[in-house]
Structure 1
Amino acid sequence: MNKVLLTTLVTLSILTVVGAGVFAYFFLTDSQAASSEPTIDEVLEASVDFEEMTTNLMSDEFIRISFKIQTSSADAKEELDKRSFQAKNIILKKISDLSAEDFKGSEGKAAVENTLREKLNAVMQSGRVERVYITSFVLQ
């Protein structure tokens, strides 16, 4: 009986140590992932503002819209600044292919932001576009 009790205690001790190790690993990994998110100052340093643009939509309405585009680094921001004419061209072309329906609700706007991010990343060479934010929006 003594041997069974000793084996049980050793097994429980090993499981406790392994469980604590797994818990600590996941806890530390989560806290490191949270701290890897950029601060608001870092976001602003790597972002480019695009002034309000006006264009017709495919559905015969027109839209006035402006953006803040967050890049992955200061170098990427500088590149996007230099490519602003290309970025505006991409944005205007893509938006003019859309209808008023495409902008309905938060999901519609998020889809437009994601599409623009993908299109802009196609021309970026140093760094990438992380997020596209719609900062003003008027649809008539």
Structure 2
Amino acid sequence: MSSKLVKSMIMILSGLTVLGIAALIIVLNIGDQQKAEGKRSIDEIIETSYETKEITTDLKDNHFVRIQFRIVTDSKDANEELQKRDFQLQNILIKELASMEVSEFKSGIGQLESTVKLKLNEMMTEGEVTDVYTIKKVLQ
């Protein structure tokens, strides 16, 4: 074989390898963007979510609440970490609820969910919390 032919084959194979790697990177990034944009199936959401225990605690003005959440994470690893941090989650909820009055509790569930999400994300090392849903709420 001539050296020109060998050089040409090496150049073609190198070019195809670079194109293959670039295509792989593009495909993987498009998949990540869909997840970042919230385009996950309900099965994926359930698989990466954690349902808290029902918590009963008092509000600032001596009323009692019973509340439960479903917390959605961005990965299985983050979900496992969140389950291990259950005691810290309960602590966050108790502190936040103890500083709320009945009127704040009735109208501020969305704010409570946002605060829980923010505080959990500050602690998380294996991913992040993407959503917090209140699934049970009783005011006494």
Is the TM value for this pair above 0.5?
yes
CA deviations over 1:48-106 (Å, ceiling 9, x no partner):
0101100000011110000100011101001001111111111111111111111224x
Amino acid at match of 2:97: I
What's 2:82 paired with? 80
Cα distance between partner residues in 1 of 2:38 and 2:69: 25
Alignment identity in percent?
42
What's 1:134 paired with? 134
Amino acid at match of 2:111: A
Q: Is 2:66 the counterpart of 1:64?
A: yes
Q: Where has structure 1 moved over 3 Å in runs of 4 or more?
A: 32-36
* Structure 2: stretches of 5+ with no match in the other structure: 1-32
Cα distance between partner residues in 1 of 2:38 and 2:121: 22
TM-score normalised to structure 2 length = 0.71
Amino acid at match of 1:66: Q
Give runs of aligned pairs for residues 10-89 of structure 1, distance below 5 A: 37-89=39-91
TM-score normalised to structure 1 length = 0.71
RMSD across aligned C-alpha pairs, in angstroms?
2.0
Cα offset, 1:37, TM superposition: 1.1
Cα offset, 1:33, TM superposition: 5.6
CA contact (8 A) 2:34 2:40 kept: no
* Structure 1: stretches of 5+ with no match in the other structure: 1-31
Cα distance between partner residues in 2 of 1:36 and 1:128: 13
Task: Tell me the matched-pair count.
Answer: 108
Cα distance between partner residues in 2 of 1:41 and 1:114: 23
